[in-house]
Amino acid sequence: MESFLIKGGVPLHGEVTISGSKNAALPIMAAALLTDEPCVLHRVPDLSDTRFMVKILESLGATARSEAGTLTIHARKIKGYADYDLVRKMRGSICIAGPLLARLKRARISLPGGCIIGARPINLHLKGFAALGAKIKIEGGYVEASVRKLTGNSVFLGGRAGPTVLGTANVMMAATLGEGVTVIESAACEPEVVDLANFLQAMGANIAGAGSPTITITGVPKLHGAEHNIIPDRIEAATFLIAAGATDGEVTLKGARGDHLRAVIDKLSEAGVAVERSGANLVARRKSRLKPADVTTMPYAGFPTDVQAQMMSLLALAPGISIITERIFESRFMHVSELARLGADIEIEGPSAIVKGGRPLSGAPVMASDLRASAALVIAGLAAKGSTQVNRIYHLDRGYEGMDLKLRGLGARIARVEEQAA
């Protein structure tokens, strides 16, 4: 297994290009199952999660060809069955359910199960399919959905933690080939949902309101192949903005969308990190000493849960007390005890973490537990004195394209090493 070995204390300086969004790419790749014609996707990030999605699509009968960030998927003839071994490795793979149901009128998919950040139920996805007329059966760890004809309906997709991103994507995809009008209420407003809707429209779907809590889909008999550019990854961008602030450097992000990052930029400003637009780029640097800030994760356009861990690393460096409240996933605090190994003083109180910031961080071996927790440990390691070894960085490779290379380009002393060799 590989680790990152980081020699901390070097301010990051320079330019970094933001990759295509993982969480936009995954459902868009699944949407290619909706047509028997080829789909051409540009700016697909080269990650273990996107490679894994390719494997899933191939296991269903599609072909995929990748060249320099462009992925061509052709689902000429497909089957509707995905087994446990595929789905359990990546919860995001559940977004094949909507396209399979729409195209084949049946899908048999293993239930994904929980993961380290929380329970990850799919009840809302199933509620949406049922509203479109699908019969749902759960048996032997599999969910089987079948329907004679998907029929438009009105469905409320708000759950206990608000809307569901992939649930909205799944129901939207299923409804594209249904008969009549489907209205999703309490739909997720994330930019990744909008990107998917744009791709579906390029395929011939009729969708209005994506990006708002009410999405209206008017079914069409058939979708065709299309070409699409995936949006830049707002979570990767946020991670680099925070790393610039944490190391007291100055980093220019090329290709990031400031309009997708408003809540993050606002909190960074409160914490003493300025993010300014410079032409098509964003530039992050400290505008004062770091200051504490209270952060609560929320559905878009609120502060993203996927940036909570990274923000905690920054606030651990800010003298004073910051309260970070996690409202989306119940157990997304696995990074807290690892940050403590670097010297951070953080206590968990129910859904909140109380960060008593400003203690100096010093390098230590730490263990990554999930994708965003890994990014938080890398940021803390970059800011800490001495050497930090972040173990199990396969989590990081799921969602960050060449993070070590990009950080080295900014002057960081970071190396990818074999765990036992370090």
Q: Is 20 left (phi over 0), alpha (psi -120 to 50) or beta?
A: beta
Beta bridge partners of 108: 81, 144
Interface residue with ligand EPU, options 161, 181, 323, 415 (CB under 6 A): 161
Q: How far is the CB of 84 from ligand EPU (least distance, A)?
A: 18
Which listed residue (6, 16, 20, 23) binds ligand EPU by CB under 6 A?
23
Residue 260 CB, nearest approach to ligand EPU (Å)? 13
| Residue 308 binds ligand EPU, judged by CB under 6 A | no
Q: Which residues contact 259 (CB under 8 A, 6 or more apart)?
A: none
* Residue selected from 165, 172, 175, 295 as contacting ligand EPU according to rule CB under 6 A: 165
- Nearest partner of 190 among 116, 110, 243, 261, judged by Cα: 261
Q: How many CB atoms lie within 10 A of CB 18?
A: 26
Question: 248-307: which residues touch ligand EPU (CB under 6 A)?
Answer: 305-306
Strands 13-17 and 250-254: parallel
Q: Give whichever of 91 and 105 is closer to ligand EPU, judged by the CB atom.
A: 91
Q: Tell me how far CA of residue 146 lies from CA of 126, 142, 270, 365, in angstroms.
A: 11, 13, 50, 49
Are 292 and 321 contacting, i.e. CB atoms less than 8 angstroms apart? yes
How many residues touch ligand EPU (CB under 6 A)?
A: 27
Phi then psi for 414, rounded to 5 degrees? -140, 135
d(Cα 43, Cα 233) in Å, to the nearest integer? 10
Residues in 357-396 at the binding interface with ligand EPU, rule: CB under 6 A:
371-372
> Residue 322 Cβ, how far from ligand EPU at the closest point, in Å?
21
Q: How far is it, in rounded angstroms, from Cα 114 to Cα 107?
A: 21
Please say which residue, 153 or 170, places its beta carbon nearer to ligand EPU. Answer: 170
Residue whose CB is less far from ligand EPU, 49 or 404? 49
* Cβ at position 418, least distance to ligand EPU in Å: 25
Q: Compare residues 352 and 387 and give the one whose CB is closer to ligand EPU.
A: 352
Put the strands of the sheet holding 142-146 in their side by side order.
81-82, 106-110, 142-146, 135-139
Q: Cα(305)–Cα(298) distance, rounded to whole angstroms?
A: 7
Among 9, 133, 159, 343, binds ligand EPU (CB under 6 A): 159
Closest contact distance (angstroms) between CB of 21 and ligand EPU is 9
CA distance 24 to 155: 23
Residue 95 annotated to the active site: no
Comparison of 12 and 28: residue with beta carbon closer to ligand EPU: 28
- Binding piece for ligand EPU, criterion CB under 6 A, among 156-164, 179-187, 211-219, 282-290: 156-164
State in angstroms the smallest separation of the CB of 416 from ligand EPU: 21
CA-to-CA dists, residue 335 to 12, 29, 30, 208, 320, angstroms: 23, 30, 31, 39, 20
Among residues 10, 12, 16, 26, which is the contact residue for ligand EPU, using CB under 6 A? 26
Which residue, 10 or 173, is less far from ligand EPU as judged by CB?
173
- Binder among 152, 167, 272, 363 for ligand EPU (CB under 6 A): 167
Question: 14 in the Ramachandran plot: left (φ > 0), alpha (ψ -120 to 50) or beta?
Answer: left
92 near ligand EPU, judged by CB under 6 A: yes
How many other C-beta atoms lie within 10 A of the C-beta of residue 175?
Answer: 34
Which of 39, 95, 115, 189 is an active site residue? 115
Interface stretch with ligand EPU, choices 11-19, 153-161, 315-323, 337-345 (CB under 6 A):
153-161
User: Which residue has tokens 């002057």?
Assistant: 411
Write the interaction track for ligand EPU spanning residues 327-346; mark x where CB under 6 A is met and - where it is not.
Answer: -xx-----------------
Residue 204 near ligand EPU by CB under 6 A: no
Maximum CA pair distance of the chain? 63
Token pair 């079914």: residue: 219
Site for ligand EPU in 99-128 (CB under 6 A): 118-125
- Catalytic machinery residues: 115
Site residues (CB under 6 A) for ligand EPU? 23, 26, 91-92, 118-125, 159-161, 164-167, 188, 305-306, 328-329, 371-372, 399
